[in-house]
Amino acid sequence: MSFEKVVFGFFVLLAATLNFGFFIGDLTNPDAHNVYELYAAVVVNVIAVILKFGDRTQIGAIHLASSLVASLQLIAAAGYYVWATEYGGGLDAHEIGSVVSLSGGAFLANIVSVVLLVIETAGFRRR
């Protein structure tokens, strides 16, 4: 068992589950979406991006692209959250809906990354 692959798989799955945890819930209720979970999802997604650098395979390139998309959307969601709470009129149904929508796009990219991980693992042959 490769410790590097365990760590990689751990962060890919943790990124998806944290993002899902923030995403799920009433779209218009700010109390249903924990801001700390959003920030944790951003941090874990950025770590997953860093772990994907150095893989020179085609599937590694798609892994990296999907993680970059997820990270960018989560950073945008966190930025919009901060802007709405600090400089906007507060966090109402419209603002939380926008934040959760951005998180949903990131969640879709995380799903692609998890599917690629499963495909890569299923295609792995012991040598």
pLDDT of 39: 96
- Rounded Cα–Cα distance for residues 81 and 86 (Å): 8
Model pLDDT, residue 126? 60
At CB < 8 A and 24+ separation, what contacts does 58-65 make? 59/116, 59/119, 59/120, 62/112, 62/116, 63/12, 63/113, 63/116, 63/117
Q: Which ranges of the chain have pLDDT less than 70?
A: 125-127
pTM over 0.85? The answer is: yes
